Amino acid sequence: MLGILHVLAVAVAGLCALVVPAVLFAIADGMRDLAMSMLLVGSLGVFAALMVLGAISGFERRLGRASGYLALVAVWVVLPVFAAVSFKTLAGLSWMDAWFEAASALTTSGSSLLTRETAPQAILFFRSSMEWYGGFITLVSIIHVLAPGGFGGLPAGDRRMITGHASDMTVYLGEFRGVLGQYVLMTFLVFVGLMLAGVNGPYAGMLAMVAIATGGFLPFDGALEDHAGPMAQLVLAAGLALGTVSVFWRRRMVRSPRNFLTFNPETSVIGLGILLIALLFAARIFSVSGGANLGPILAESLLTAASLVATSGIESRPGVIALWPDIVVLAIVLVGGGIYSTTGGVKVYRVVAMAVHSGRELNRLIYPSSVTNLRFGRHRIDEDSMRAIWTYFALSMLILASASLAFTLSAAEFEGGITMAVAFFANAGPVYEALIPLAYATDPANPAWPQLVAMPASAKLAAIVVMTLGRLEVMVVFAVLNVRYWMTR
């Protein structure tokens, strides 16, 4: 239990520390009352976290396997509640809206209920940094808890490059420095690129944080193209692509560049997928625009492709994502990106593993005695991994079906409910808003495809649950809900 409290306290302290740069923005804008309110909220959170850390200092805090899973679920359930207090107090949202905003930010889903044309820049920066923080927690969750447990068939071998071992769960801050260093460095590089591309300084910082976290939050009202030209869109596409692939590819490229593609087929598949989708989008945009300038079209297409694969949902202007059929767009975001990344969805590794495994089983219908080893790059996919992958996939489909039913009964009609379920489960909230048909766009409270601001509280609660399940890789929640195990402890 002390290990769980330790993890929660550190996570809350990190969240509250995000208030500090936001306070500086409030002071720079002359909003001293807001600055004092933000400072008070952040100070109370940090004080509470430090009190917990001080009370348990000197005691053994190492987590076991079961308590590690419980700590992970506790972080993703409790942290949005703490963040909701900030949005309720500072942004004036209702409790349900504040909880939805916090869950969307921390799960990097990107949907927002903030009125961005009137919201102070300090609030917008705090919201963007919260999405960035959620991306970092996602990486830590996968590398240090989910992969060692093999949840959903995640391969644990790559962890050796950061932690030195594959299967042990770790919770000490020293183990997180390698991931944090890379995460901060990539964010800084994207920020510099956006600044050089002519983006306003504060917006460049916020967009850089959102891109590396593969989130979808835009810190301004209106279209992205009004604030970021073609060069800036290319930088954003590169940032989203960096956030889409595994955090381990950079070290491997330095250590063994000759074997990079052999050891990282997932990265190759993701890169080729982004290029192919971009070319198809470019052709579509070129045909509907009547032969506009090809350069801006290519930049816009690359951004859209990287955004969909990264489960972000960012588009340069309204209507670009909707140029493709809804089913194709939803299929892309449901697949997602790399396994050791901040993206949502099923992940490319699992999809390829299921395809290869299905092919082998079909081959056995003709050659029952054939023996074929399944591999994806350097990873050997054994039967235990395949059982975990198929179980994960079945549970994901069950959750999507249940979520679609919940949204259909509470907020939307059948097509809107399915779209909402896939978008929230894949942590790609803006995709739902991008796919709202034009016939319903002028009526926020329409019963078929309602906008987020018009969703009832029951639908927002369902969205919070679905976003959290999607970020937790589904299976760990069912492990924690094993009542029989906890009753026999």
Judge contact between 65 and 147, C-beta under 8 A: no
User: Angle 170-176-182 (CA atoms, 0-180°, nearest 5)?
Assistant: 145
d(CA 141, CA 282): 36
In a domain, 143, yes or no: yes
For 278, phi then psi, to 5°, come to -65, -45
- pLDDT (0 to 100) of residue 166: 46
In a domain, 299, yes or no: no
Give the pLDDT confidence of 264-321 residue by residue, as tens digits.
777 888 889 999 999 999 988 888 877 667 888 899 999 999 999 999 989 988 889 9
Give the pLDDT confidence of 375-395 residue by residue, as tens digits.
666 667 777 788 888 888 988
Which residues form the domain of 146? 2-177
Q: How many residues does the chain have?
A: 489
User: Angle 252-253-255 (CA atoms, 0-180°, nearest 5)?
Assistant: 60
Task: Give bridge partners of residue 376 from the DSSP assignment.
Answer: 379
Check: pTM over 0.85? Answer yes or no.
yes
In a domain, 426, yes or no: no
Higher pLDDT, 1 or 41: 41
In a domain, 37, yes or no: yes
Rounded CA Rg of the chain: 22
Mean pLDDT, to the nearest integer, of 99-115?
92
d(CA 79, CA 478): 20
For 116, phi then psi, to 5°, come to -70, -25
In a domain, 68, yes or no: yes
The secondary structure of residue 153, as a DSSP letter, is G
Give the pLDDT confidence of 168-197 residue by residue, as tens digits.
555 555 556 777 888 888 899 999 999 999
Higher pLDDT, 72 or 468: 468
Percent residues over pLDDT 70 in the chain = 84
Specify the number of domains making up the chain. 1
Per residue, the 3-state secondary structure of 92-155, as one string, reads CCCHHHHHHHHHHHHCCCCCCCCCCCCCCHHHHHHHHHHHHHHHHHHHHHHHHHHHHHCHHHCC
The conformational region for residue 345 under phi > 0 = left, psi -120 to 50 = alpha, else beta, is left
- pLDDT (0 to 100) of residue 61: 63
pLDDT band at 160 (very low <50, low <70, confident <90, very high): very low
Asked whether residue 94 carries a pLDDT value surpassing 60, the answer given is yes
- pLDDT (0 to 100) of residue 157: 55
In a domain, 458, yes or no: no
Look over the chain and give the mean of its residue pLDDT values, rounded to a whole number. 83
Asked whether residue 161 carries a pLDDT value surpassing 50, the answer given is no
Mean pLDDT, to the nearest integer, of 457-464?
93
- pLDDT (0 to 100) of residue 60: 63
Sole residue written with tokens 């970092």: 136
Reduced DSSP (H G I as helix, E B as strand, rest coil) percent helix, strand, coil of the chain, to 5: 70, 0, 30
d(CA 261, CA 257): 8
Q: Which two tokens stand for residue 286?
A: 């070129």
Give residue 351's Cα distance to chain centre: 18
Sole residue written with tokens 């907020």: 411
In a domain, 130, yes or no: yes
Asked whether residue 363 carries a pLDDT value surpassing 90, the answer given is no
In a domain, 57, yes or no: yes
Task: Give bridge partners of residue 380 from the DSSP assignment.
Answer: 375
User: Which range among 2-6, 58-62, 117-121, 349-353 shows the weakest confidence by mean pLDDT?
Assistant: 58-62
d(CA 20, CA 40): 11
Inter-axis angle of helices 65-91 and 121-141, nearest 10: 170
